[in-house]
Amino acid sequence: MRVITCNNDNFIIQANMNKEGDFENMFAVAKEMAKHDYVDIASGCEAEGWMHLSAVWDNFQAEELMEDYKRAKAIVLNK
């Protein structure tokens, strides 16, 4: 999985659809990130393997979203 968009209100994660289990892991990472009150899963596509998260609490949260992604990914992949 990889982050394909990270800005102050949109965060999109793309799964590697050629890698078994990557979509499920990516979805678990998105759900882990959505545990925060300020992050919502806006949309996703299982066929194309992406999840779009939305978060707004100020004008400079892109870095915080990336840190949340890294923490969530570590939690999911280290289970």
Structure confidence at residue 8 as a pLDDT band (50, 70, 90): confident
| Residue in this structure with the two tokens 């102050």, named with its chain if needed | 8
Q: Residue 29 in 3-state DSSP? A: helix
pTM of the model: 0.82
Could you give the CA distance from residue 52 to residue 54 in angstroms, rounded to a whole number?
7
| 26 φ, ψ (degrees, to nearest 5) | -65, -40
- Type and span of the H or E element at 66: helix 62-77
Q: Give Cα separations from 53 to 20, 27, 76, 79 (angstroms).
A: 23, 11, 17, 23
**2-72 CATH fold:** Alpha-Beta Plaits (3.30.70)
pLDDT at 47 over 80: yes
pLDDT level of residue 9 (50, 70, 90 thresholds): confident
